[in-house]
Chains A and B, each alone.
Chain A
Amino acid sequence: MALLEVKNLGIEFPMRREVLRALQGVSFSLDAGERLGIVGESGAGKSIAAFAIINLLSKPGRINAGEILFEGRDLTVLDDNAMRDIRGNRISMIFQDPMMTLNPVLTIETQMIEVLKAHREISDNDARKIAVEKLREVAIPSPEDRLKSYPHELSGGQRQRVVIATALLTNPSIIIADEPSTALDVTIQAGIMALMLNLCKSHDMGLILITHDLAVVSQVTERVVVMYAGRVVEEGPTADIVTHPKHPYTRGLIAALPQEGTAGKRLNQIPGSMPTLDAIPDGCAFHPRCPHADDVCRASVPEIVKVGNQFSRCVKATELAEENSL
């Protein structure tokens, strides 16, 4: 049985005039110790999927379909108390914005000790020791001194490393990291990603890495879910997806990456942009931006089908797979 199984999840935002559908039929799973990447453009619904798992959807968002099974228990029907026991303890989350985790008026020390005390019986002194150890693991210089700092006294990158250290305090079985390293410089990012990779392996900790950086995903995760306009459009082993992407959207994303030899040239950008929720196109939501789109694509939402080692939500999946082009 998978450690975490998201089944057919639907999320909606009832607005004054209409109901916006943020996620539709989203399914994926995570085994113990497995590292899964969720990629897709801004607005694809990656963060919303993550927030739903830990029951932190922003108002008026609500789950309208599906299940989220953690160790077989459905998180969508847990009461607040039971959920608090899981969130920040068994499942930790690292947000895109470090200030969503850090309280600006409390020292790092107070905040880290608070997290530990919320979930277990522990003395301040022991909690402080764990905090220092975790800060050292994420390469915060002079951790003892830094405990006394307030968040605003740290640089953006240092703040995010404090957040990561805080997420590790309770040795969770899943870490959900939403763009954990986008605010970090490359040398630190490489270090943090290597650190998370090693932590996952040594503690058998599962990782859901949400990012738009396919390069990072390719170096850290074992499987990838590609999202577009609130749906999963491609899913499969990371190595297969980066070398033989099947869905035209994934192909576009990979072609847009700056790589060796693109210096000075313009990057290929996918034309247009991710639709907003009030304007999700009928049929395949990607069709207005897709070079292969025709009437069939516009008619109905494609099923997700198996092609090779992965799954693709594209009516032309099989056909495109036969072409040898990237």
Chain B
Amino acid sequence: MSGPLVETRDVEKRFDLGGYFWQQDKPVVRALNGVSIAIEKGESFCLVGESGCGKSTLARCIMGLLDLSEGEVFYKGEQIDRLSAKAMMPYRRRMQMIFQNPYASLNPRMTIQKTLEEPLRFHFPEMKNGEVRDKVEEVMTSVGNDPAWGTRYPHEFSGGQRQRISIARALMVDPDFVVADEPISALDVSIQAQVLNVMMDARDSRDLTYLFITHDLSVVRHFGTRVGVMYLGALCELAQTKTLFDTPRHPYTQVLLNAIPKLSTTELIHTPMMGEVPTAIKLPSGCVFHPRCPYANERCSREVPAGTTLDDGTVVACHAVEENRI
């Protein structure tokens, strides 16, 4: 296959925040402002960035769970963002999602067995009961879960156990592409390592491609092939994982890397980023990061920086980098 498995081109997403119909400027959340990424087959593409920067929104746009305001989404070269529910069906099977919240994503009134059987029965109604049960057992075992959990209910499991059940559910229908939205952020370190291993094994044995959303950069380092750093609905840096950690180029990436919590014997000293916490309702002009950026100049406040491709392939949207000021 040539070309990326999944691609977004200049995706924009706006949410209307109600308001009254006679109002001139109804509040609008500009959640995505022209995001283009291309995910190659076999990649573990990571998206990182501050809460509210649009990571989940981008994921939901890709999955067809939200209508785009502008732009296009492609799957194996086919445009999928304007498909009818029926035409979208085959893609719904090939693209699965693991959610941020292992508490809300499992139906509390359904046994684990039922939860796992449901997607199979939906996408493969012709499957026999015995085959369905075998498949559940195979997938549960492959992610390190005891198939005997089947008779129990979600509330009987701790967060980590539930998330491994969610992973199993996503893998039930043999997807090609899995979007994992903060799949391990609610889990302990040693369990995070295990779930990451489960996801990596599944990638290799089931030929998966991941879009992995997280705010934990230390996880990205272990898991990601490439990383996209987002800020306020825009992509500010896109690089190979190692390159990003060795030489973060965008000022925001540098702030992010510095904020990783470290084991220490002294109290947390926190130097807040300068400037107001930004909002996607009143988007800053020019570079959206400029009110908080120590390198900002007049051009930054006026002109939206376009992505510049550096020698090592890194794409950075920053005037200061482009002008060789940093």
Q: Do A and B come from one complex?
A: yes
* In the complex, B38 has a CB within 8 A of chain A: no
Interface magnitude class on chain A = 35 or more
Contacts of A184 in B (CB 8 A): 51, 215
Shortest CB distance A263–B (Å): 5
**Chain A residues numbered 221-242 whose CB sits less than 8 Å from any CB in chain B:** 238-239, 242
Contacts of A189 in B (CB 8 A): 215, 259, 261
- Residue from B259, B263, B273 within 8 A of A242 (CB atoms): B263
Q: What is the CA–CA distance of A140 and B265 in the complex, to the nearest angstrom?
A: 30
B262: nearest chain-A partner, CB-CB? A215
* In the complex, A269 has a CB within 8 A of chain B: yes
* In the complex, B132 has a CB within 8 A of chain A: no
* In the complex, B42 has a CB within 8 A of chain A: no
Q: What is the CA–CA distance of A213 and B51 in the complex, to the nearest angstrom?
A: 19
Q: Is the CB of B242 within 8 A of A157?
A: no
Q: What is the CA–CA distance of A260 and B245 in the complex, to the nearest angstrom?
A: 11
* In the complex, A21 has a CB within 8 A of chain B: no
Q: Mark B171-198, 1 if CB is under 8 A from A, else 0.
A: 0000000000010011111110110010
- Residue from A96, A148, A149 within 8 A of B186 (CB atoms): A96
* In the complex, A6 has a CB within 8 A of chain B: no
- Which of the segments B98-106, B111-119, B310-318 contacts the partner chain? B98-106
Q: Is the CB of A186 within 8 A of B260?
A: yes
Q: What is the CA–CA distance of A204 and B270 in the complex, to the nearest angstrom?
A: 20
- Which of the segments A76-84, A122-130, A191-199, A297-305 contacts the partner chain? A191-199
* In the complex, A318 has a CB within 8 A of chain B: no
* In the complex, A202 has a CB within 8 A of chain B: no
Q: What is the CA–CA distance of A273 and B60 in the complex, to the nearest angstrom?
A: 33
Q: What is the CA–CA distance of A148 and B51 in the complex, to the nearest angstrom?
A: 20
Q: Is the CB of B186 within 8 A of A186?
A: no
Q: Is the CB of A183 within 8 A of B50?
A: no
With contacts A155-B51, A155-B56 known, is A97 near B103, CB below 8 A?
A: yes
Q: Is the CB of A215 within 8 A of B263?
A: yes
Q: Mark B49-76, 1 if CB is under 8 A from A, else 0.
A: 1111000100000000000000000000
Contacts of B15 in A (CB 8 A): 153
With contacts A96-B159, A156-B182 known, is A218 near B264, CB below 8 A?
A: yes
* In the complex, B155 has a CB within 8 A of chain A: yes
B102: nearest chain-A partner, CB-CB? A97
- Which of the segments A85-93, A165-173, A248-256 contacts the partner chain? A248-256
Q: Is the CB of A182 within 8 A of B186?
A: yes
**A-B contact number at CB 8 A:** 178
- Residue from A252, A259, A266 within 8 A of B263 (CB atoms): A259
Q: Is the CB of B194 within 8 A of A187?
A: no
Contacts of A242 in B (CB 8 A): 263-265
Q: Mark A132-152, 1 if CB is under 8 A from B, else 0.
A: 000000011110010011000
Q: Is the CB of B182 within 8 A of A42?
A: no
Q: Mark B264-290, 1 if CB is under 8 A from A, else 0.
A: 111111101100111101100000000
B281: nearest chain-A partner, CB-CB? A142
* In the complex, B92 has a CB within 8 A of chain A: no
Q: Is the CB of B190 within 8 A of A43?
A: no
* In the complex, B320 has a CB within 8 A of chain A: no
Contacts of A243 in B (CB 8 A): 265
B273: nearest chain-A partner, CB-CB? A187
B260: nearest chain-A partner, CB-CB? A186
* In the complex, B27 has a CB within 8 A of chain A: yes
Contacts of A238 in B (CB 8 A): 265
Contacts of B245 in A (CB 8 A): 263
Shortest CB distance B196–A (Å): 8
Closest 9 A/B residue pairs (Cβ)? A157-B51, A42-B160, A185-B215, A212-B188, A194-B270, A219-B268, A43-B158, A141-B279, A155-B52
9 contacts between A and B (CB under 8 A): A99-B104, A139-B277, A190-B268, A191-B272, A193-B261, A197-B267, A214-B189, A269-B197, A273-B144
Query: Residues of A with Cβ closer than 8 Å to B?
Result: 40-43, 58, 96-97, 99-100, 139-142, 145, 148-149, 153-158, 179, 182-191, 193-194, 197, 212-216, 218-220, 238-239, 242-243, 252-254, 256-260, 263-264, 266-270, 273-274, 276
Extra pairs beyond A154-B52, A212-B188, A253-B190 (11, CB < 8 Å): A97-B103, A187-B259, A193-B270, A194-B269, A197-B267, A216-B261, A219-B266, A258-B221, A263-B245, A266-B222, A267-B193
